[in-house]
Every structure is written in structure tokens, then in C-alpha cells.
């Protein structure tokens, strides 16, 4: 009985999140078109929303226990990548935020945002299930 209520609540939350994302998408592409009068930018924004949606769908397939197991290692790897930018980073457009590997440039701070979300999510889950602080 309790499990069904949890599933129902999770479905409700998922529907709310999806509706919110669609509304944000519609507002953003409308604003882009009104400001720029360029349909090309609307198409590009739509493509990036599709890429993001596919990324979310793929991430949902991962085992959350596995992600939680490696969360702290992802976090420390992200810290190391930020230090590497300070030591070995390339200056592009006046900002030293990029690591160059041949023809590929990476902005490691973008990965760190994802890693922080994973670590904070792991801490929140542990704190809410164990009734302790995240350590």
C-alpha cells in the first residue's frame, strides 16, 4: 500500500517536472524568436533541448547505487581537473578555463557542475534515509 503511494507521488512529480521543462522550452524559444527574429536560433535551441532530453533519458537508465558508489571519486576527479586548468589550462577568449587535448578542448568546470549535483544528491539521500549528516 505504501509502495503504491510512493510510486504515485513519484509519477506526479515526474509529470510536474516534464511540464515545467516544456513550459521553459516554449518560453525560451518564443523569447529567442521575438528578440532575434531568427528561426535558425530557435532550431538550434530546439536541438539542444532534444540532446539534453536524450541525455536525461540515458542517465535515468544508470543504476543509482553505482553512481552513489563513485560520487566522491567523481568529485575529487573534478577538483583535480579544476587544478589542472590552473596549471595547464589554455587561455581562450581571455579566460583560462579550458584544457586542450590535441584538437579537443574541455571546459572542466561544466563537468564539475554535474559532479556536484551527484555528490549533493548522494548526501541528501544519505541524510534523509540515515537521519544523519552527510559525511
How far apart, in whole angstroms, are the C-alpha atoms of residue 76 and residue 73? Answer: 5
Segment 32-68, tens digit of pLDDT: 999 998 899 999 999 999 998 898 888 888 888 888 8
Based on the structure, what is the number of domains in the chain? 2
Using CB atoms within 10 A of its CB, is residue 111 exposed (0-12), middle (13-18) or buried (19+)? middle
**Predicted confidence (pLDDT) at residue 9 exceeds the cutoff of 60:** no
Domain span at 1: 1-61
The pTM (predicted TM-score) of the whole model is: 0.62
pLDDT of residue 7: 54
Q: Are residues 107 and 129 part of one domain?
A: yes
Output the CA–CA distances (angstroms, integers) from residue 54 to 40, 49, 78, 125, in the order listed.
Answer: 21, 9, 23, 25
Say what the pLDDT of residue 116 is.
94
Does one domain contain both 1 and 42? yes
Same domain, 12 and 40: yes
Rounded (5°) CA angle 49-54-58: 145
Same domain, 4 and 18: yes
Indicate the pairing of strand 104-106 with strand 90-92: unpaired
Question: What pLDDT score does 132 carry?
Answer: 55
Domain boundary (10, 40, 61) is at 61
Tell me the torsion sign for CA atoms 31, 35, 38, 44.
negative
pLDDT surpassing 70 at residue 12: no
Among residues 61, 81, 111, the one where a domain terminates is: 61
The reported pLDDT for the residue numbered 32 is 92
Over the stretch 83-105, which tens digit does the pLDDT of each residue have? Answer: 999 888 887 777 778 888 888 88
3 and 47 co-located in one domain: yes
Read off the pLDDT of residues 72-86 as tens digits, 9 standing for 90 and up.
Answer: 999 999 999 999 998
Amino acid at each position: 500500500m505504501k509502495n503504491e503511494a510512493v510510486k504515485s507521488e513519484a509519477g506526479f512529480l515526474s509529470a510536474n517536472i516534464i511540464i515545467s521543462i516544456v513550459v521553459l522550452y516554449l518560453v525560451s524559444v518564443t523569447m529567442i524568436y521575438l528578440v532575434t527574429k531568427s528561426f535558425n536560433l530557435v532550431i538550434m535551441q530546439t536541438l539542444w533541448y532534444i540532446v539534453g532530453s536524450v541525455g536525461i533519458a540515458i542517465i535515468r537508465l544508470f543504476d543509482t547505487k553505482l553512481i552513489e558508489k563513485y560520487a566522491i571519486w567523481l568529485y575529487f576527479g573534478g577538483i583535480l581537473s579544476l587544478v589542472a586548468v590552473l596549471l595547464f589550462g589554455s587561455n581562450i577568449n581571455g579566460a583560462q578555463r579550458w584544457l586542450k587535448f590535441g584538437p579537443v578542448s574541455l571546459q572542466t568546470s561544466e563537468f564539475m557542475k554535474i559532479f556536484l549535483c551527484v555528490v549533493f544528491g548522494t548526501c541528501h539521500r544519505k541524510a534523509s534515509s540515515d537521519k544523519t549528516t552527510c559525511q
